[in-house]
Structure 1
């Protein structure tokens, strides 16, 4: 049976909103990451059939099929196509699923999957503007759709999480990310980005050091005076891009490429679009059932820390060992560039599995509309 394998995984360093990457056009950011991937793997771009690319806010500088635009900006041959995917925060994880399916079906020999989001250039919510994006039939069924932060508030109150519990998770994220930076864990996965002024940006800039629960507890709630969600227990608004080169085992051997991981299982799940962020629970259950693996078989997890509350709910319902989840920090510390986050998590997980000799890793994330992707990788 044909299997889809990952032979390369890179990412940009993640920039804060208004930070180091805020002066670089998102197309040029994407092009640099694509070229960094080709250099890392040692493949000529002419061998790549397609670029499947996640991006949530596909307007303004990220409009016009940014995947194809970036391919051309990177100087790749005109024969290399690109398509842009939107499954909200899971867009680039979905890009991996689409790429894997295309490889197994024989539609591709070699494909890039990944994503980008420059939230400094195109703020969250820009595609909707002041228009009604949902329409009367949806509204009649569900009412008005809250912001994702309101969904996190609902989760916190439904599961009974305290502000302190969520702040503890946020502090852990920063401490683990800082330790990973200090060890050089991210060095091999990061493509240094040349900025318009000629300087080079090479380290995630959202990680905060020297934090404490007292400092976090002093941060004002973000969604109402009596709210539980605050900046210390929520992901950062960020800029970044990430990319994975994928092929089949047979093609990898033909091209002399070393597989890093096999896409073992891919699953999707939907849940309440108002609470919105709980679908990783059924997605994980579905992925485990489909894979034939048990929870104890999974040696590492990546769960996107859009907010602390959905991760805490997932931990409680799934029963995963917290020590195995986001052991190098998550989006609360590293940032959450929406369309890039799925590929960023997977890049980090692939490199960790290689370094630690972990056989199976599972990644999942909450997504707009009450959806979730879950992916199980097997180290090659």
Structure 2
């Protein structure tokens, strides 16, 4: 039997466990074809709340707090969407909520913060997750807000850093780790092939929240392209550099709409409320990296979790490394040298899409289900984040 890993939370004497984890379908951010084009993001997150407590069989009044990630809390997503969606779901107003922004790692940070609240003794039961409707609140929303209220980057910051786009950061990573366009294309094909196989085998069913949208029941992911080949990707133009570029739309994660939620609690609370224990949160971390190359955070985040828990890459049964761009995961592979048969085994964001504020919780839901399916002992989730950050969560499945 594998040894129990005692992370930092063990010192508090309060095991933090995951009782349930769900996510909506992932829809294209398209004004005419996107599944969620007529759906308010409140409804997406509310559906996750309702499905989560329904599956778990817990009274929503027993939830102590809600911690929700969202990278663009403007417009429809403003004024604490974590709270607004809870009220829209018809749940008790006595349950508080907060909405946070840690860029692409927002939802994973929400899960990590919830775990810390529980481990510290502040709360016993917390729902964490994230939401992003990139069709209604697009990625350039901060720029439009800046036109009215000012820029976030001051002249003093510009004098220290020559900030670039995330796409340019993906190009810089490809250069530094000598990752060819052909390698990135092959990785993208792998993502679509594995996601297609997972969908056909029903591997996402355990985490999926069915939603009725425009009179149709949606239960799946809209951006997966089963017919993707290296030949079709080779014909795409680069999108971030006109000359000498390597990154294309095909090796980038598509913008999407989605929400996800995770129910965390103490072991004692799980027993008290009759909840199943699906996994234990062993450890978590967040790291900072150079804000120009920006997207290398999964490398030190993974290294830190392994080192702190006296583990090696080979001890981890499954990895979820967010596929913001092919180059991000391939650089991580260069440094960590994992068995890639354990990495993103059901595809990743290049195929499934990256609804930035929700993806971290979606990855938690996906890996927990896959750990159960494969009877894996340890799983590790890590993400790169805009601005030069990286998030990580180490999970253990008990026999």
Which range, TM-score by smaller chain?
over 0.9
| Match in the other structure for 1:142 | 161
- SS of equivalent residue, structure 1 residue 127: helix
Map 1:174-323 to 2 at 5 A. Answer: 174-195=192-213, 197-226=214-243, 227-323=245-341
TM-score by length of 2: 0.93
The answer to whether structure 1 residue 32 and structure 2 residue 47 are counterparts is yes
1:133 to 152, 161, 169: 152
* Kept in 2: contact 1:57–1:125 (CA 8 A): no
2:116 to 82, 101, 104: 101
Q: Which runs of 4+ in 1 moved over 4 A?
A: none
CA distances 1:324-380 after superposition (whole Å, capped 9, x unpaired): 110000000000000000001110000000111000001101001110011110013
The answer to whether structure 1 residue 84 and structure 2 residue 99 are counterparts is yes
CA shift for structure 1 position 127: 2.4
Structure 1: which 5+ residue stretches go unaligned? none
The answer to whether structure 1 residue 353 and structure 2 residue 371 are counterparts is yes
CA shift for structure 1 position 224: 2.2
Deviates more, 1:123-132 or 1:50-59: 123-132
| Match in the other structure for 2:4 | none
Aligned alpha-carbon RMSD (Å): 0.9
Give the distance between the partners of 1:87 and 1:128, measured in 2 at CA: 17
| Match in the other structure for 2:77 | 62
Give the distance between the partners of 2:241 and 2:332, measured in 1 at CA: 24
* Kept in 2: contact 1:55–1:115 (CA 8 A): yes
The answer to whether structure 1 residue 367 and structure 2 residue 385 are counterparts is yes
| Match in the other structure for 1:158 | 176
- SS of equivalent residue, structure 1 residue 20: coil
- SS of equivalent residue, structure 1 residue 170: helix
Give the distance between the partners of 1:318 and 1:220, measured in 2 at CA: 30
* Kept in 1: contact 2:177–2:334 (CA 8 A): no
Structure 2: which 5+ residue stretches go unaligned? 1-12
